[in-house]
């Protein structure tokens, strides 16, 4: 299904590099915006990884400018005069030092929306510090929430700080500012801190931490919170072939179906909706029983069993398995693009579908 050009006519200047900003403007381009990617003379560092560069920069016009040269700054301001949005990822103050700060850009185009994506925000105590996704995750407290039962913290290969904290937060902010500019004729400077963007995702642990802290004497740690393993009905379980099964039977009706499917109807009322407290001896004992049962068969057995049982139980797929699964094949979730090196590579499609009711 092709994406309708809902943002046709929108002109975007992208000064960002690597991942958070380019992916945000890629989504704008996928929805029809005209994006001009402006790189320094040496180019975007992401070009060293052609599949990554192609995946977040396809379909953009490309231009290289050296802002140390007055002629090139003038070229940028000429683009700004006709643009709707400018996205940048420099540290706070760098644009201003080059003579391209917000007052200059706003004077050039009063309706311009400037979106600045940084690690720690324009005015925080850490505004001028360098950082990467791992640092943003670490400082937000989100990384610690991933701590395993043995105390280790896994290194995620998905850049949640860059993407949830940066890309998606920036899209929300700049689209809201664009709507306001269309209504009121005045642009805004949108300040996106990736660390604060990740911090804003801590909705559940903030709430449940306040719920369980009086009982535990501390905020819940590994396997102590409702959604990180304390509930037997909502956990990851190892299978006989060292794979994992995701049991997400959070509501009692799904837990009942799970129990019936695995032949343990006697577990049906051992659920938090039926009074089983997450940190009780009975809850911990049940988790061991469930783990023992599921460890007795390979993942394929459980995946086949729950294929027709609506119990919120799914296999943990590898990336290759996900790519080949009908769930993603049917919605054409990948496309092939030119990597810029003469090779065709896979890139992700916009995940949003705009359904026409006509």
- The DSSP annotation for 76-137 comes to HHHHHHH-SEEEE-PPTTHHHHTT--HHHHHHH-TTPEEEEEESS-SSSTTTT----HHHHH
The answer to whether 97 is a known catalytic residue is no
Enter the tokens of residue 80.
């700004």
| CA–CA gap between residue 55 and residue 145 (Å, rounded) | 29
Handedness of CA 83, 84, 88, 91 (dihedral sign): positive
In the set 30, 162, 191, 225, the catalytic residue is 162
Long-range contacts of 260-269 (CB under 8 A, 24+ apart): 261/305, 261/306, 261/309, 261/311, 261/313, 262/293, 262/294, 262/305, 264/293
Rounding to the nearest 10 degrees, give the CA dihedral for residues 226, 232, 235, 237.
Answer: 160
238 phi and psi, to 5 degrees?
Answer: -75, 140
Cβ atoms of residues 32 and 8 within 8 Å: yes
Residue 116, beta-bridge partner list: 88, 191
Q: How many angstroms separate the CA atoms of 317 and 89, rounded?
A: 34
Beta bridge partner(s), residue 238: 244
Please state, in angstroms and rounded to a whole number, the distance separating the CA atoms of residues 205 and 230.
13
Please provide residue 185's backbone torsions phi and psi, each rounded to the nearest 5 degrees.
75, 20
Pair of tokens at residue 71: 């002629």
Q: Say if CB 192 and CB 20 are below 8 A apart.
A: no
Task: Please identify every residue annotated as catalytic.
Answer: 162
């Amino acid at each position: 299904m092709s994406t309708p050009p809902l943002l046709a006519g929108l002109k975007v200047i992208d000064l960002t590099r690597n991942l958070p900003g380019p992916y945000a403007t890629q989504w704008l381009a996928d929805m029809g915006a005209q994006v001009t990617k402006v790189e320094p003379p040496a180019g975007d560092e992401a070009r060293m990884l052609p599949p990554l560069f192609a995946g977040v920069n396809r379909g953009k016009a490309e231009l290289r400018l050296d802002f140390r040269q007055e002629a090139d700054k003038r070229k940028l301001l000429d683009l700004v005069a006709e643009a709707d949005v400018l996205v940048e990822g420099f540290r706070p103050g760098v644009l201003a030092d080059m003579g391209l700060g917000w007052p200059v850009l706003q004077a050039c185009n009063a309706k311009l929306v400037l979106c600045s994506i940084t690690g720690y925000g324009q005015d925080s105590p850490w505004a001028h510090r360098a950082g990467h996704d791992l640092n943003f995750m670490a400082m937000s407290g989100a990384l610690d929430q991933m701590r395993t039962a043995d105390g280790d913290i896994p290194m995620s290969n998905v850049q949640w700080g860059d993407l949830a904290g940066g890309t998606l937060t920036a899209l929300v902010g700049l689209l809201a500012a664009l709507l306001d500019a269309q209504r009121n004729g005045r642009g805004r400077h949108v300040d996106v801190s990736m660390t604060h963007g990740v911090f804003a995702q801590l909705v559940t642990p903030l709430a449940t931490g306040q719920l369980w802290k009086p009982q535990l004497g501390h905020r819940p740690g590994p396997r102590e919170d409702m959604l990180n393993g304390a509930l037997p009905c909502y956990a990851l379980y190892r299978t006989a072939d060292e794979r994992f099964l995701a049991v997400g039977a959070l509501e009692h009706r799904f837990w009942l179906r799970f129990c019936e499917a695995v032949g343990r109807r006697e577990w049906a009322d051992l659920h938090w909706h039926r009074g089983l407290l997450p940190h009780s001896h009975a809850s911990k004992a049940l988790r061991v029983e469930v783990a023992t049962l599921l460890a007795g068969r390979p993942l394929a057995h459980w995946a086949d069993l729950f294929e027709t049982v609506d119990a919120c139980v799914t296999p943990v797929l590898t990336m290759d398995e996900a790519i080949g699964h009908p769930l993603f094949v049917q919605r054409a979730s990948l496309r092939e693009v030119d990597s810029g090196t003469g090779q065709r590579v896979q890139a992700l499609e916009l995940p949003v579908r705009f359904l026409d009711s006509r």
